[in-house]
Every structure is written in C-alpha cells, then in structure tokens.
Structure 1
Amino acid sequence: MVCDCIPSIGQVIFTLVTFYSLKFAYSYYKACCCSKQAPKLQKQDWKKDVVYLYQFPRTPYSPNLSPFCLKLEAFLRLHEIKYEPIFTFSGRSKKGLLPFIELNGEHIADSQLIILHLKKYFNIQDELTNEQKAIERAFDRLIESTFFNAVNWLKVRDNLPEFVGTILSLRFGKSLDFLKYVVAPFLMINLKNRFETEGTAKHSDEEIMTILRNDLQAVETYLGDKEYFFGDQPSQIDIEVFAHVAAIYYVPYHHVSKDLIETEFPQILKHTQKVAKRFFSEFQFGL
C-alpha cells in the first residue's frame, strides 16, 4: 500500500512543469520590464574603438529575432565599424533591453541612441540632403512606431506558442519545447497589458490591418523601382526597413503580416532580400 501523502509521478511532473514555466515567464518579464539599474561593464578587457554588441543569439532562419539587434548589426556592417557580437538572453542594458553596446569602457543603451553615438564618435557623415534627412526621419518613426507595434502584436498574439517555442529552443534546445503551451498564457498577460497600454491591442483586427497596410504602402510607394531609398547606395533607413521586415518575414510560421508583405508589397520584399544579401551574405535567411 502506498501512502496517500506521496505524490504521483503525474503530480510531480505537473508541479515541475508549472514551476519552470512560471520561472521562465517571470524571468522574461523581469528582464524586459524591471531591469533599470545601470549594469556593470561586461567587457573588462576591451579594445579601443571596438564595439561590443550585446544581442540575442542567432537563429537558424535569421541573424536575430529582434529587429533592433538586426538593425544595429547591419548599421555596423554598413559603415565597416569593427565590432564583436556577444550573444545573450539574460544580459540587459541599463534600460532593461537588448541590444546595447560597450565602446571604450562605456555602456550605451537603446539602438536609436547607440546609432547617434556611433555617428558622432566615428564621424559618420550622411551624404543626404536636408530634405532626404527629413524623409528618413519620418520613415524611421513610421517603421519603429505604428508598424512595429502592429506587426508584433499580431505576430505574438496569433502565434504565441510558436514564438515562445522559438525562444525556448534557442536557449534550452528542443527538449523543453512542450513548455511553450504552458508558458504562453502567462506571457500573454504581460504582452496584452503592454500593447493595451501602448494602444494597438485596443484596436480591432480590421483597424490594425488598415494601419499596417497604410504604413507598408507608404514605404512601397517611396521605394518604387529605386535600388535603395535614396539612390544606388543604402542608407540608415534601408537597414531599418530591412531589419523590421526581416524580423517578421523570416520566422518559421505563417501570420497575417508576413502574408500581407508577400502578397501585396513586392518592392518591400525585394528590398529586404537585397539588403539581406548585401550585409549578411554568409547567412541563409528563411528555412
């Protein structure tokens, strides 16, 4: 006779799964939302003028899950700045985010501010007219504001188990893939609160698709049949559009934003493939 106080194997497995699922969800929330204190310098033996780029690990289908990490690495390659990628899940900037860089013993956070710092430090001069700079800034805000929020809310809302499974497989391998169905509901609470606070999750699907389609149409129209946004050479806005489109297009599952780009915006897709080949020629995008 077995004592009733001894838990069954099923109870033990359920308890362990619940514990590690909650632990993963909490660590994700804490890393993304609560880490605000300035971290210690990670690279103590740094070399002068080498950018140490802290970002999420590579994936089998794209150099990075994060459009901001991908944008920053492409920017470094565009301007041939010497850098060393450092892949991490747990590391976060003083603002609680990835990517961040360390340059000459200084910690710098936020991809937009990092690029401004790099331009100033390395004396990077954009060969653009004032009008082109204004256009670039307008597209920059379009891509990293309404477009980013719309596509990411739809992507994670409709494919959250797959999204979580991708993160789990990168961090732990396929052995914990089953946890994605347990972790996803906890993570959805945080994500829904975030996107409701921002505003996107308050819209209907039809309204979100209208916003998304209008943003993409603006990019498609301006690109036209040009090689790049401002002629035959890429600029910062080219890598920003590439990074944000690649982050939703080169994922191992279908979603409405990916299908929309593929069916209605051929110039944007062509542009993304072109920039990918130019700056990440060693990498095979997609599955």
Structure 2
Amino acid sequence: MSLLNRPEIILCLFLTLSAAEPWPENATLYQPLKEDQILLADCASSLAVQAYLRMCGLPVQVVCRANAEYMSPSGKIPFIHVGNQVVSELGPIVQFTKAKGHSLSDGLDDVQRAEMKAYMELVNNMLLTAELYIQWCDDATAAEITRPRYSSPYPWPLSNILAYQKQWEVRRKMNAIGWGGKTLEQVYEDVSQCCQALSQRLGTQPYFFNKQPTELDALVFGHLFTIVTTRLTSTELAERIKSYSNLLSFCRRIEQTYFEDKKDVSRS
C-alpha cells in the first residue's frame, strides 16, 4: 500500500508544510448568516473556534455566507481559510494551529491532556448532540425556528426540500447513536449531568486547568454561552445551565477577556 494512500501520512505532510507558513492577517472564518440563518449548534461551534483563536492571539475575520455549509470541505461549520489551506471544525483547527507553533495545552502533562480530551468528548457527545436534537427532533422547535432559519436564503420549493432533507439526516444520525427514542426531558437531563460534571471539574478555578485557558475552555464557552443567549421555543435548556453559577461566571469571564471591546469583524 502506498504511503500516500494512508490518511495519517497525508495529514502529517499537510501539517508539516503548513507549519512553515506564518499566520496571515487575512485569515477568515466562515459561518452561515448570523441574523437570519445560523442555528444553535453551528453558532456554538463557530463561537468555540473564535474563542480558541482569540485565546491563541491569532487574528481572524468572521465572514457570513448563506452557502457556508456547502463551502466547507467536511460539510461542517465553521471552517477557516488560512493562506491556501481550508480547515473545518475545532479539532482539526487545533491541530493546524499547533503545527504553526500556537497551542493552548502545551503546558499540560499527559494525564491532564487525557483528561482534557475526555471532557471535550463529553461536551461534543452531550451538549452538541442535545443542540442538534432540540433543533431538528423537537417538532415545535423545528417548525417554528429551525426549518425557517435553515431555509431562509433559498427560494421555494428548494427551501422546503433542503430543510426537510437536513432534518431527515439529523434524525437518522440520532437513531444511529441511540438518541432517536429519547424524550425532550431525557435530553435536558443529559445536559444537566454534563453541566454538573463540568461544574465540578471547574470548581472555583478561572479555567478548567487553573489559570490558563485550553481548547476545552473555548469549546465549553462556545456551547454554554450560545445556549444561554439563543432564543428557543422553551427556556428549559438555558435554565439547566443557569443553575450552575460557576459556569455562568466562567462564560462572563471569557466574554469579558476575549470578546468585549474587540472590533466586530463579521460581515455578511
């Protein structure tokens, strides 16, 4: 088997070549339209990446495009365009920046790094999945918010076709991972358990690993801040998070440190 047919070898070569190029001033992050289109899960993922890049001190312009999902190489939001490279989702973006010498977790030991990855898996498996479930599997939310926002840039009947196609894809995914038969209350309870674990790990520290943020802090902030600031058909999801005062303080701390008084560079 040729080495070039092995994905891990290709990724290694990609990162090595990318590391030689400095971070440009015109790096761009793409997401769906901010006011009319972007949904809860995509907004949370995009905010997590923005927080991570700001924590690294890496400038990025946020550009909103109606077809951002279809522009992404993985079909996932957000993605960044840096030089001649396009990278989507937080995990690959973290690896990409590490190859350029920018990392938030180099100071962690092996045990801490493993713990950080475990909590990131928890957030993705619980919070991200819950966001997708509520968007597309709760009938009231899907009808009132999700389908109208998702389809807003497109003319009828394409708008309806794309929205129902996306809903079918997400519901099929939920069935595959065992969430298809869950009730809304069970999803809320999963979110509560996730927040309880995060709250206990954070404790009274400013960040999850004491005084310096890591990619875990960026990921948690992206999801929690988006949930508590996004209008849904019910406030129950946000209320579950608001019951943990240290998580709310954590979100305010990151917002004040990395987002307040910063120039808004997003444009549609």
State which of 26, 31, 35 in structure 2 corresponds to 1:55. Answer: 31
Over the aligned positions, Cα root-mean-square deviation in angstroms equals: 3.2
> What is the 5 A alignment of 1:137-216?
137-158=117-138, 159-160=141-142, 161-167=144-150, 171=153, 188-216=167-195
Paired amino acid for 2:28: Y
Structure 1 unpaired stretches of 5+: 1-46
* Residue aligned with 1:58, SS: coil
2:230 aligned with 1:230, yes or no?
no
Is the contact made by 1:56 and 1:69 (CA closer than 8 Å) also made in structure 2?
no
Offset of 1:123 from its aligned partner?
A: 4.2
Of residues 103-112 and 138-147 in structure 1, the stretch that sits farther from structure 2 once superposed is: 103-112
Give the number of the structure whose alpha-carbon radius of gyration is greater. 1
Offset of 1:94 from its aligned partner?
A: 1.8
Match of 2:6 in 1: none
Distance 1:87 1:73 in 2: 13
Match of 2:97 in 1: 118
Residues 280, 120 of structure 1: CA spacing in aligned structure 2 closer, same or farther, 3 A cutoff? same
> What is the 5 A alignment of 1:128-139?
128-139=108-119
Offset of 1:155 from its aligned partner?
A: 4.3
Match of 1:17 in 2: none
* Residue aligned with 2:30, SS: strand
Residues 206, 281 of structure 1: CA spacing in aligned structure 2 closer, same or farther, 3 A cutoff? same
User: What whole-Å deviation, never above 9, does each CA across 1:83-121 have from its counterpart, x for those lacking one?
Assistant: 232221213222122212222212223321111111121
Structure 2 unpaired stretches of 5+: 1-20, 263-268
Match of 2:227 in 1: 248
Is the contact made by 2:33 and 2:66 (CA closer than 8 Å) also made in structure 1?
yes
Distance 2:65 2:217 in 1: 26
Percentage identity across paired residues of the two chains: 19
Of residues 154-163 and 72-81 in structure 1, the stretch that sits farther from structure 2 once superposed is: 154-163
Distance 1:184 1:113 in 2: 27
2:88 aligned with 1:109, yes or no?
yes
Match of 1:221 in 2: 200
* Residue aligned with 1:243, SS: helix
Is the contact made by 1:54 and 1:88 (CA closer than 8 Å) also made in structure 2?
yes
**Number of residue pairs matched by the alignment:** 229
Paired amino acid for 2:217: D
Is the contact made by 2:151 and 2:163 (CA closer than 8 Å) also made in structure 1?
no
Paired amino acid for 2:224: V
Match of 1:239 in 2: 218
Is the contact made by 2:87 and 2:93 (CA closer than 8 Å) also made in structure 1?
yes
Paired amino acid for 2:132: N
Paired amino acid for 1:86: V
Distance 2:32 2:261 in 1: 18
Offset of 1:137 from its aligned partner?
A: 0.7
Is the contact made by 2:23 and 2:100 (CA closer than 8 Å) also made in structure 1?
no
- TM-score when scaled to structure 1? 0.68
